[in-house]
Structure 1
Amino acid sequence: MRRRTALAAGLAWAAAAGAQAPQRLRIGFAVGYAPFSEVGSDGQLKGFEVDVAQALSRRMGLPFTQVILDFDGLIPALQTRKIDAIMASMSITPERQQLIAFSAPYYFSPARMVMRSDAKLDVSPAGMKGRRIGVERGTIHERFLAEQFKGSQVLRYATQDQAFLDLKSGRLDATLVDAVIAQFGFLNHADGRGFAFAGPDFGRDPRYYGKGIGVGLRQADAATLGRRFDEALAALRSSGALKALNDRYFSFDLVSPPR
């Protein structure tokens, strides 16, 4: 019954698109986002977003291929049709919506500064004046720092892991990052000993951090492939499958919309 339903949905989508539905989606991921997406010891990509992609793929009846890219290369790859969708902790913001479309959000995450526990710095534009703050290129954190922390030295990195390395070595005073990524990718490990979150949750500023994290799509695909992602995501929410994936990785709820 489910196979027939998926097939009917696929044929309807193809007709609406005026073209044959793709046989396999190419989904772009960015590594260095434990526990969202990282390369395991076996060389395979794993993590929460990979599992969500698999669940969405099964629900839509469309298998997918993983394409690993630097974060700042994801939107150009989508626009040039090298990939069909983005699942890389990408915030839904007005700025990005001028370039691409998004599905409904599938998780929500705070944005925090990480620095040495004994730094005792005032985490504000005035308090961080002249300080070196690391950030991953192409992220919304980069834009936030550029516009709100103009007196700071903003150092840009290809991956967040590189920023963590420079923070550990003392070449940075702080890094601005998704709080969950910082917790699981740095603070919970030996390299993160002596470091901690500092300052407020900057992710509450909707001017920069938008409406949550969604699947990035070409604008031309919003009414077709985008609709299929939204329907699959709604089904995962209503069935409890999305919350079950959340609970596999986190002891707190990232998938329920803020109230």
Structure 2
Amino acid sequence: MRMLKTVALAATVLATLVGGAVAQDITKVRIGTEGAYPPFNFQDANGELKGFDVDIAKALCAEMKVECEFVVQDWDGIIPALLAGKFDAIIASMSINEERKKSVAFTNKYYNTPPAVAVPKDSPVTGITAEDLKDLAVGAQSSTTHSTYAEQYLTQSDVKLYPTADEYKLDLENGRLDAVVDDVVVLSDWVESEAGACCKIVGTITPVQEIHGEGAGIALRKEDTALQEKFNAAIEAIRQNGTYETINKQYFDFDVYGG
């Protein structure tokens, strides 16, 4: 028994040393993203991943001089998939907040935009408060900061949760919802498109720190500290060398990095 314990301890130490060496010599990073959250991440008609998250990920990998491999993963299972080793990092507009920090580590933010409320164009709703949305059916994507906000703050509304943003958009368009809550950029991109011509944004919500956190960051396994440091350095580098600005201008007419 004593010998077995010694062997086990030696194996653990060796694995730690080897793991540390590998962590310092990262050559490929597998990135998990949803692929269903335009304009941040989505798949085009050919199934190719596009969007701000995707372009930022590619720029970060280039800065780190590593190969990028993308893995499409449903949002609800994206953190469990990271922890199970399906990929090495999540770059999918994931807000940094205390609840998620219990399971994963985060890099510094790479953008920060507020939540908003959208309604049908003929809706009498003109505000975004709990009183404005009282007794109304309000949709949000499940397992997001927006669904958490809706459930905690819109307690007099009939909150309905959806696996993807596309599904709540369809229900709002078809009259099965009175309003939806999501990121202002996501909703703006939609209502300005032909698909979202049915609807309008009535206002932005002041972020609640404990729910919405400090912006969107890259989620990693807690033990992957070397990768976290590399990503943080790369985020700072692309902000400084103009790469971030170039990507930003392809999608937005303002700096989504935020204050």
Fold similarity call, TM over 0.5: yes
User: Does residue 210 in structure 1 map to residue 213 in structure 2?
Assistant: yes
The amino acid across from 1:169 in the alignment is N
Q: CA deviation at 1:17?
A: 5.2
Counterpart in the other structure of 2:8: none
Measured against aligned partners, the alpha-carbon deviations of 1:123-174 in whole angstroms (never above 9, x if no partner) come to 3223322211111111111111111111211111111011000000000001
SS of match in other structure, 1:66? strand
SS of match in other structure, 1:120? coil
Q: CA deviation at 1:22?
A: 4.6
Q: How does 1:21-36 map to 2 (within 5 A)?
A: 21-36=25-40
Q: CA deviation at 1:208?
A: 1.2
**Root-mean-square deviation (CA), in Å?**
1.8
Measured against aligned partners, the alpha-carbon deviations of 1:197-240 in whole angstroms (never above 9, x if no partner) come to 114424x321211111110111111x211000001111111111
- Aligned mates of 2:199, 2:43 — CA distance in 1: 24
User: Does residue 110 in structure 1 map to residue 105 in structure 2?
Assistant: no
Counterpart in the other structure of 2:91: 87
Report % sequence identity. Answer: 34
- Aligned mates of 2:105, 2:117 — CA distance in 1: 29
1:35 touches 1:249 (CA, 8 Å); kept in 2? Answer: yes
- Aligned mates of 2:198, 2:45 — CA distance in 1: 26
Of the three residues 242, 245, 248, the one matched with 1:243 is 245
SS of match in other structure, 1:25? strand
1:17 touches 1:224 (CA, 8 Å); kept in 2? Answer: no
1:32 touches 1:160 (CA, 8 Å); kept in 2? Answer: yes
Counterpart in the other structure of 1:74: 78
Q: CA deviation at 1:15?
A: 7.5
Of the three residues 183, 187, 191, the one matched with 1:187 is 191
- Aligned mates of 1:86, 1:220 — CA distance in 2: 15
1:134 touches 1:175 (CA, 8 Å); kept in 2? Answer: yes
1:36 touches 1:47 (CA, 8 Å); kept in 2? Answer: yes
Larger radius of gyration: 2
Counterpart in the other structure of 1:57: 61
The amino acid across from 1:218 in the alignment is R
Counterpart in the other structure of 2:101: 97
Counterpart in the other structure of 2:10: none
2:97 touches 2:213 (CA, 8 Å); kept in 1? Answer: yes
Structure 1 stretches lacking a partner, 5+ long: 1-13
SS of match in other structure, 2:95? coil
Of the three residues 129, 132, 149, the one matched with 1:144 is 149
Counterpart in the other structure of 1:6: none
The amino acid across from 1:228 in the alignment is K
Counterpart in the other structure of 2:177: 172
Of the three residues 201, 205, 213, the one matched with 1:201 is 205
Counterpart in the other structure of 1:224: 226
Of the three residues 158, 162, 165, the one matched with 1:157 is 162
* TM-score (norm: length of structure 1): 0.88
- Aligned mates of 1:143, 1:84 — CA distance in 2: 26
Q: CA deviation at 1:27?
A: 0.6
SS of match in other structure, 2:168? helix
Counterpart in the other structure of 1:8: none
Q: CA deviation at 1:61?
A: 1.6
